A and B are shown apart, each in its own frame.
Chain A
Amino acid sequence: DTAVSQTPKYLVTQMGNDKSIKCEQNLGHDTMYWYKQDSKKFLKIMFSYNNKELIINETVPNRFSPKSPDKAHLNLHINSLELGDSAVYFCASSHGESDEKLFFGSGTQLSVL
């Protein structure tokens, strides 16, 4: 069983559309994250949730809205997609916000045309 799974793995869409990426972890972790890897491969945190509560929101445009229906799921919804949103989005989880060991999903490559 995959520990942290993201769907879809690839997403191609037109500018202006709204899309969602789903993430689920079966590790029993309390904390989940979204990281963005841009076209230059630079990785940066976007959000983190601890027990469904938002704890980090790293100056991300409000077109990006994370949703955590329960502590095993953290979805990312993006409104009005722009060309610059093209990137790889990684979900990750850890036991808690103080736990330094992250488990990453395999990433979702988003291409906005």
Chain B
Amino acid sequence: AQTVTQSQPEMSVQEAETVTLSCTYDTSESDYYLFWYKQPPSRQMILVIRQEAYKQQNATENRFSVNFQKAAKSFSLKISDSQLGDAAMYFCAYRSVYAGGTSYGKLTFGQGTILTVHP
């Protein structure tokens, strides 16, 4: 079964600076999806960014970008120009592409990283 590990329980960053959240995963599958979700204090789960493993180009969404290292099974999230509204818990997640994959049809989440943004 796939596992997703976020080794940083907490991170902090000054407003306007850049922070990188780490995620590693374990899989024997060749194609899959990876995600970063944001959960602010409101509890809502918000999709920040997603990456398809067969695409070598790193995904970007405005101030959010990923560093996807397939061979190393690493998927880090970089937040540039951090804003107070970025403060939240961030979850890395994995999903199989192919039916029969143990994470097909479901997200397997990491433990989460709490991000604090200091003004």
Interface Cβ pair total, 8 Å cutoff: 48
Which parts of A91-113 form the interface with B (CB within 8 Å)?
Answer: 92, 97-98, 100-102, 104, 106-107, 109
Given contacts A41-B111, A41-B112, A42-B112, contact A104 B105 (CB under 8 A): no
Q: Mark A26-45, 1 if CB is under 8 A from B, else 0.
A: 00000101010000111111
Q: What residues of A have a CB within 8 angstroms of the CB of B39 in the complex?
A: 41
Residue A12 at the chain B interface, CB threshold 8 Å: no
Q: What residues of A have a CB within 8 angstroms of the CB of B109 in the complex?
A: 42-44
Which of B44, B99, B107 sits near A102, CB closer than 8 Å? B107
Are A104 and B106 in contact, CB atoms less than 8 angstroms apart?
A: no
Interface residues contributed by chain B, number (CB under 8 Å): 21
Which of B42, B47, B95, B112 sits near A106, CB closer than 8 Å? B42
Size band of the interface chain A makes with B: 20 to 34
Are B105 and A97 in contact, CB atoms less than 8 angstroms apart?
A: yes
Residue A83 at the chain B interface, CB threshold 8 Å: no
Bound-complex Cα distance A35 to B43 (A): 13
Are A33 and B99 in contact, CB atoms less than 8 angstroms apart?
A: no
Residue B84 at the chain A interface, CB threshold 8 Å: no
Are A106 and B44 in contact, CB atoms less than 8 angstroms apart?
A: yes
Q: What residues of B have a CB within 8 angstroms of the CB of A48 in the complex?
A: 105-106
Q: What residues of A have a CB within 8 angstroms of the CB of B66 in the complex?
A: none
Q: Mark B33-50, 1 if CB is under 8 A from A, else 0.
A: 101000100111101001
Bound-complex Cα distance A107 to B47 (A): 15
Residue of A nearest to B91 (CB): A43
Are A107 and B106 in contact, CB atoms less than 8 angstroms apart?
A: no
Residue B89 at the chain A interface, CB threshold 8 Å: yes
Are B43 and A56 in contact, CB atoms less than 8 angstroms apart?
A: no
Which of B45, B89, B95 sits near A104, CB closer than 8 Å? B45
Are B45 and A90 in contact, CB atoms less than 8 angstroms apart?
A: yes
Given contacts A55-B105, A56-B106, A90-B45, contact A100 B99 (CB under 8 A): no
Are A106 and B43 in contact, CB atoms less than 8 angstroms apart?
A: yes
Are A98 and B91 in contact, CB atoms less than 8 angstroms apart?
A: no
Q: Which B residues are within 8 Å of any A CB, using their own CB?
A: 33, 35, 39, 42-45, 47, 50, 89, 91, 95, 97, 99, 104-107, 109, 111-112
